[in-house]
Amino acid sequence: MGERSFKKEIALLRLGEGDTFHGEGILAVTKALLQSGVSYVGGYQGAPVSHLIDVMSDANEFLAELGVHFEASASEATAAAMLGASINYPLRGAVTFKSPVGTNVASDALANLASAGVKGGAVIILGEDYGEGASIMQERTHPFAMKSQMWLLDPRPNLPKIVELVEKSFELSEASNTPVMLELRIRACHVHGSFTAKDNRPPQFSRKNTIANPDFDYGRIVLPPSTYAQEKHKIEVRLPRAIEYIKREKLNETIPGKHDDIGIIVLGGFYNSVMRALQEYGLADGFGASDVPIYVMNVAYPIVDDEIVLFCAGKRAVLVVEESQPEFIEHAVHVALRRADLNTKVVGKGPLPMAGEYTLEVVLTGLARFLEGAVPRGLDLARVARVHQALLAPKKKAQELLGGPMPPRPPGFCVGCPERPVFSAMKLAEREVGPFHIAADIGCHLFSTLPPFNIGNSTLGYGLSLASSTGVAPAMSRRVVSVMGDGGFWHNGLSSGIANAVFNKDDSVLVIMQNGYSSATGAQHLPSSATNAKGEPLTGTIEGALRGVGVGWIKTLRTYGVAKMKDALVEAMTANEKGLKVIVADGECQLARQRRIRPQIRKQLAAGARIVRTRFGVDDDVCTGDHACIRLSGCPSLTIKPNPDPLKSDPVAHVDNECVGCGLCGEVAHAAVLCPSFFRAEIVQNASFWDRWLAAVRARVIGWLQVDRKLARARAA
């Protein structure tokens, strides 16, 4: 089960030669893989390419018809290791994961793969997660590709070019015996468009046409002396073959322009932003024509020096549009031009910022600065300056009205999230035992570091919270608490954290959020889910795995029981027993639950069945306006509204219509001994005669009481 279903769109994968595909980028990538004759596909979920796993899961029956093997991998390292099938055999394989963090996890397998080289095309489709919308540290894949001598493609964000380069990636890989990375930024993953489809190609070898005999070649084993020969082969054979293929197939593109004394060199992923900026300045149209010559590097690595030199010849200045740092492309352009004895001025960082996402506003400003400094022949710079000021004027006006920059909108837990109550319990536990160091982890639960909880002192990687606590734990006066999701538990935490803690007899506390899915990446299945990605039943449990590695102190609790969770935390922090103590906080992801039950409720309502929904609210007369409930809950549906009592100025707490009836607000009020202002209500649909009669009686009694209250308020006024 993914965040969204692609079952309806899967029909697009059956399109044949000459048909027109209309759809989303990720679905187009899947179609391109099938058109390329891929034998096997694997991957691990992670933004912005999680949907590729979801598409493959939904299309599993169709893949089986073609003989394509799909596997939802346990980690990025698992996925990368699958590509070992292409080392000895002409099997085309593709894997996908988030980069750079997923690439880091997979680095051991990828480095060995790059050293050994491949026979069959091996393609790694990477979700390049850089910029203000990223959920990770700000790094790029480019240096990894350079380090391991793997070719890196960065296609223009339109569907025909993406599909073409997926197909060309396999050919490039086979032509140079080298694995190829193809990075897709979030806009490329979700761009919509169309392209002319081809027939799907059944793989040369698959479960329908198996390989009779295994192949052995010691030259492909990553062990001396083979490794020395492999290193030479990379530079002396593979690299020249790759450059030859890139030039022959024209993977990079050159767009001519009348202002040919200047030019722009841009990575394919930024092409749309550069063209839009030129269009705003009246220097390009909406169909790809530009007044300024552009060299589009759909291949980020390796650099093709001959093409760079040819593009820059006769130009006084070129602008290199390359996000982040170090500025690899800019350096490479400098080297290529100096070796060719060209004096073309190369600028990039300066007009454009050294770090940060290159949004349209950033590109507009950088381009205006470049044009102002380059002074191209026949270009009206005064007009460019006027347009630039006019484009930025609305934002400046908004900042003036606000008295500062736009306020941030940090992410947070969803309404009814089962993980929020655990952090409420932690805040309450700290009142009893004192503040304690909390090692956080990657996942939805990392939102605990934001208001109102501000819980989590460090985070070092997916599933590494417990491992990261081992250095600080001996120096703390209280036990250290680590938080880990079930996704992180199966990805890395069981081996690197829990087994390590048992082995070293660490005295620590671990809280595992068991919400049933890899929720932060779109609700993909885990080994402890009810089924796998193919819908086959599973029997694995987190508790069983914990006992299997030797954990003795385990408590499994319902997450919404704040009082019991607080008591368990206090017990774990104060117990005389040494060793690892694990609390499994069990509560299904609320988003996944709503996606699961809402279709069921709609069917039941349509059939006339009686349905009861639970809602919570706040009694205005009882609420004191202290708002401790909000500080300890943080639920988006728990907000404030003006106090209806004219004698009270403080606003009262209020539960809005987003409430899903999880009951956390009442649980927090009970556990923290707050005011008893919360009430529970039941909303009945397709009510019975008894329901209607009882509601009428209650309404009449409440009406009498409200009359008395109104009279009392009138006398008080």
Angstrom distance (rounded) from CA 704 to CA 709: 9
- Residues 489-510: pLDDT tens digits? 999 999 999 999 999 999 999 9
- Torsions phi, psi of 189, nearest 5? -65, -35
Angstrom distance (rounded) from CA 186 to CA 48: 5
Angstrom distance (rounded) from CA 87 to CA 119: 6
pLDDT above 90: residue 456: yes
pLDDT above 70: residue 1: no
Angstrom distance (rounded) from CA 492 to CA 464: 7
Return the number of other C-beta atoms located less than 10 Å from residue 454's C-beta.
10
Angstrom distance (rounded) from CA 87 to CA 307: 31
What crossing angle do the helices spanning 420-433 and 562-574 adopt, rounded to 10°? 50
Mean pLDDT of 165-171: 98
pLDDT above 90: residue 432: yes
Task: Identify the weakest region by mean pLDDT among 7-11, 84-88, 236-240, 592-596.
Answer: 7-11
pLDDT above 70: residue 353: yes
Is the CB of residue 555 less than 8 Å from the CB of residue 563? no
Is the CB of residue 479 less than 8 Å from the CB of residue 466? no
Domains, the chain, in order of start with CATH, read 9-248 (3.40.50.970), 253-402 (3.40.50.920), 420-592 (3.40.50.970)
Is the CB of residue 195 less than 8 Å from the CB of residue 18? no
Which single residue is written with the structure tokens 């001519």? 256
pLDDT above 60: residue 2: no
Mean pLDDT of 156-171: 96
- Residues 636-668: pLDDT tens digits? 888 888 988 887 788 988 888 888 888 888 888
| 287 Cα distance to chain centroid | 31
Which single residue is written with the structure tokens 């761009």? 191
**pLDDT bracket for residue 621 (50, 70, 90):** confident
Coarse DSSP helix, strand, coil percentages of the chain, rounded to the nearest 5 percent: 45, 20, 40
Structure confidence at residue 713 (pLDDT): 61
Structure confidence at residue 622 (pLDDT): 86
Is the CB of residue 489 less than 8 Å from the CB of residue 542? yes
**Cα atoms in the Cβ-side hemisphere of radius 13 Å centred on 375:** 1
Look at residues 2, 200, 183, 188 and name the one whose alpha carbon lies nearest to residue 92: 200
- Residues 94-108: pLDDT tens digits? 999 999 999 999 999
Return the number of other C-beta atoms located less than 10 Å from residue 357's C-beta.
15
pLDDT above 70: residue 716: no
Mark 521-543 as b/e (b = at least 16 C-beta within 10 Å). Answer: bbbbbbbbbeebbeeeeeeeebb
Mean pLDDT of 523-531: 84
| H or E segment and range at residue 684 | strand 678-685
Ordered DSSP codes for 270-320: GHHHHHHHHHHTTSB-TTS-BSS-EEEESEEES--HHHHHHHHTT-SEEEE
CA distances from 369 to 101, 277, 315, 387 (A): 34, 13, 17, 13
Peptide bond into 155 cis (omega under 30): no
CA distances from 174 to 31, 103, 395 (A): 20, 22, 50
| H or E segment and range at residue 125 | strand 122-128
Q: What is the DSSP letter of 491?
A: I
Structure confidence at residue 73 (pLDDT): 92
Mean pLDDT of 157-166: 96
Q: What is the DSSP letter of 390?
A: H
pLDDT above 70: residue 619: yes
Q: What is the DSSP letter of 408?
A: P
Instruction: Give residue 483's identity as a one-letter amino acid code.
Output: V
Mean pLDDT of 569-577: 96
pLDDT above 90: residue 35: yes
Look at residues 333, 288, 284, 335 and name the one whose alpha carbon lies nearest to residue 312: 333
Angstrom distance (rounded) from CA 320 to CA 265: 5
* Percentage of the chain lying above the pLDDT 70 cut: 98
Mean pLDDT of 41-57: 86
Task: Identify the weakest region by mean pLDDT among 69-73, 148-152, 664-668.
Answer: 664-668
Q: What is the DSSP letter of 641?
A: E
Both structure tokens of 7: 């079952």
